[in-house]
Amino acid sequence: MKKALLSITLVTLLSVLIYSCSSDDDDSAVSIVIQTPTPEPEETTTQYTLTVSAGDGGSVSSEGGTYDSGTQITINANPDNKYQFVSWSNGSTDPSILITLAEDISITANFRLNGMIFTRNSFNIINPNQRKIDLISTLDANPGIFVYQKNNFNYLIVPGVSDIGQTIRETSPKGKTFVFYKDNNGWSDYSIENDLASTWVIRNFDSNSDFFILGDANEIGDDWRNWKGDIIKGTPNERQISWERVNSIEQMGFYHDVSVGNMNSDDIPDILGVGFKFFFGNDNGGYDFIGSQDVYGGDDAFIDYRFNPPLAFELYDFDGDGLDEIVSADYRESYGTQESNRVSIHEFNMEEKKFKEVFTSNSPTELFNEDLHATSIQVYDFNNDGNSDIAVARENSSGESFEIWINNGDLTFTPIFSKKFECNQFNMLEFEVFDANSDGNLDIILRPQTCGGQPTESFLYSSYSENGRGLKLNDCIWLNDGTGNFNVYSDKELISPLWTSYLFPYLENGVLHFVGFEFESYEYDDENNSLKIDVIDFGVDIR
C-alpha cells in the first residue's frame, strides 16, 4: 500500500516537473499572453494512513487509520503480564508517543519478556517421516538437540527420532534430521537433511571447530544387546551440512556417548564410541577401526579397563604431550564399592601400545551419599589455574546431578563441588559450559527438561502464569565464583508464560540464549500430515 502511494506521488511530481520545463521553454517565444483567471483550488485536505501494530508480548492502544494531514494522535504500547516494552520501530523508547501525520506512517511496538530478549519463529512442518509419532518425538524433549556454531553461523541440530516404543530395531524406520538456521529475524529457516543424517535416537554428541558427531544409542526393543546405532558426522559449511557415517554396519554399537579428539600423533581427529570402539582418522578422510564388535566392548586389547565399560567419557590432552587421555566415569557399578561415583583417567602407554589407568577416585560418594550414573563429561579450566578440570553429569531414578573435579596438575583430580536435583523439583539433561556473565569464569548452564513429561517445581510450573503454564530459567544458570564453586543466578527472576519440554543453552555475542520448541502434539493435522511449531529463543543478558 505504502509503496503504491509513493509511486503515484512520484509520477505526479515528475509530470509537474516536465510541465514546468515545457512552459519555461514556451515563455520566451510568446510575447502576448491572454490571462485567464486561475480557478479557485478545491478545498481538499491530504490524508495519510497510520498503521500501528504490536509485536509478541503486548498490545497497542490504536491500530491507526486514515487521518487528515497534521492530525496528532497519541498511541500507547501496553506490555502483557511478564513482558516489558522495549521500543517503537522508529527508535523511540517512550511507551506513549505523539504522532503527527505528515506522511504515511507504519509503526510497531516491540516487547520482550522481563529481562529477556525473546524471538518466536513459526513454521508449519510437513512431516517427512513415515509416522506421526516420529515427528512429534523429534521436536519434543529430544536429547540430541543442540546448537553448533561455526564461522558465525548458528545451526540448531535436531536429529531424527524413531518411535522407541517399537520392539524391533531393524524394522523401525529412522527419523529425518532437521537443521534450523538463525539470522537477524531469529531461527527463521530450516532444512530437512538427507537420508545419511537420519537417526533412531541421538543420546550424546561432541564436536570440534570443524565438525560435530552424533552418537545413535538406538534403545529400541527390550533386549539391550540389540541396541546398535551409528556415529554420524556432520560438517557444516555456510548453511550446508555434508553428512557421513563414521562406522560400517559391522561396527555399529551402543553409541550412547561419543567423543572427538586426537589419540595418536597424526593431528587427524579421532573418534571414540561406547564399548571402547576406536575410530582413528586416516589420510583418506576415513576411519581405521580398532575395537570389539560386542555392544559394550567385551575383551579389548587397546585399553586395560578394570570396570564395566562406561557410557560417559571425554578425550583430552591433560599433560600436553600431544596425545589425548581418556576421562571416564562409571554408569552401573555397585554403590558402596570403590567403583561407584567414580572418575578415571587412562593414558596411552607407548611401550604396551594401549591405554592404561593412571588415576581413579570415587570420592564424590562423600558428596552425594547415593549411587549415581555418569551420562556425560566435559573438560574445562574452572579455577583459572591453567590446568583443565573435569565436570561430570550423572543421573539416577530420582534425579540428575553435576560435579566438578579440580586438576591437581599431576593427572590427579579432587572433587570440590556437587549439586543434585530431585526430578520433580528441577530436571536437566546434562549441561553446557561457557562464560554466561562475561566475568572471566566458566559457568555451568543446565539443559532444562520436564520430569518424564511432568512439570517440575522450577523450570515448568503452573504458578508462573495465569493460564496455568509457565517457565523459569534461574535454576539452569550456575555461575562460577572463580574457584570452581557455583551459585545459582538470582539477580532477577527469569520467568515467562511459555511452555516447552526442553531448552538448549548457547552463547551468542556474549549473551546467554536458550532455544527450544513450543507446540501442541494434539494439533497435528492428520489430513495434511503437518504440525505447526514455534521455535522459541530467550536471550538472557546477565553480564
343-349 and 325-329: which strand pairing?
antiparallel
Closer residue to Ca ion in complex, CB, 142/251: 251
Among 103, 294, 370, 439, binds Ca ion (CB under 5 A): 439
d(CA 65, CA 159): 47
State which of residues 247, 441, 458, 496 lies at the interface with Ca ion (CB under 5 A).
Answer: 441
Is residue 5 a contact residue for Ca ion (CB under 5 A)?
no
- Are the C-beta atoms of 115 and 540 separated by less than 8 Å? yes
Instruction: Return the C-alpha cell found at 43.
Output: 478545498
- Pick from 63, 321, 352, 525: which binds Ca ion (CB under 5 A)? 321
> Would you say 163 or 270 has its CB closer to Ca ion?
270
* Of the residues 6, 10, 16, 268, which one makes contact with Ca ion according to CB under 5 A: 268
Q: Is 151 exposed, middle or buried (0-12, 13-18, 19+ CB in 10 A)?
A: exposed
Residue closer to Ca ion by CB (options 160, 269) is 269
Q: Which stretch binds Ca ion (CB under 5 A): 139-147, 208-216, 235-243, 404-412?
A: 404-412
The span from the CA of 264 to the CA of 157, in Å, is 29
Which CB, 47 or 438, lies closer to Ca ion?
438
Reduced 3-state DSSP string for 285-322: CCEEEECCCCCCCCCCCCECCCCCCCCEEEEECCCCCC
Nine-digit cell string for 388? 583443565
Q: How far is the CB of 241 from Ca ion (least distance, A)?
A: 23
Whole-angstrom distance, CA of residue 70 vs CA of residue 195: 61
323 binds Ca ion (CB under 5 A): yes
Cα separation, 275 vs 297, whole angstroms: 4
Q: In one letter, which amino acid is 216?
A: D
Q: What is the CA radius of gyration of the chain?
A: 30
DSSP helix/strand/coil, 445: strand
How is residue 89 annotated by DSSP? T
Asked if 385 interacts with Ca ion (CB under 5 A), we say: yes
Q: Which of 314, 389, 400, 430 binds Ca ion (CB under 5 A)?
A: 389
Residue 317 sits in the site that holds Ca ion (CB under 5 A): yes
Residues from 201 through 260 that contact Ca ion (CB under 5 A): none
Kindly tell me which of 189 and 381 has the beta carbon lying closer to Ca ion: 381
Q: Is 319 in the site for Ca ion (CB under 5 A)?
A: yes
Span near Ca ion by CB under 5 A; candidates 54-62, 314-322, 363-371, 525-533: 314-322
Complete edge-to-edge strand list for the sheet that includes strand 277-281: 258-261, 270-273, 277-281, 287-290
Query: Which residues neighbour 12 within 8 Å (Cβ) at sequence distance 6 or greater?
Result: none
Nearer residue to Ca ion within complex by CB, 247 or 500: 247
Q: What is the torsion angle, in degrees rounded to the nearest 10, for the CA atoms of residue 283, residue 286, residue 290 and residue 291? A: 160
378 binds Ca ion (CB under 5 A): no
Task: Give the nearer residue to Ca ion in terms of CB position, either 319 or 457.
Answer: 319
Range in contact with Ca ion (rule: CB under 5 A) among 1-9, 156-164, 223-231, 379-387: 379-387
| Binding-site member from 26, 223, 266, 520 for Ca ion (CB under 5 A) | 266
Among 163, 371, 443, 534, binds Ca ion (CB under 5 A): 443
By CB under 5 A, the count of residues binding Ca ion is 20
Q: Which range in 29-37, 157-165, 211-219, 373-381 contacts Ca ion by CB under 5 A? A: 373-381
Within residues 177-196, the interface with Ca ion by CB under 5 A covers none
CA distance 505 to 35: 79
Q: Which residues bind Ca ion (CB under 5 A)?
A: 262, 264, 266, 268, 270, 317, 319, 321, 323, 381, 383, 385, 387, 389, 407, 435, 437, 439, 441, 443
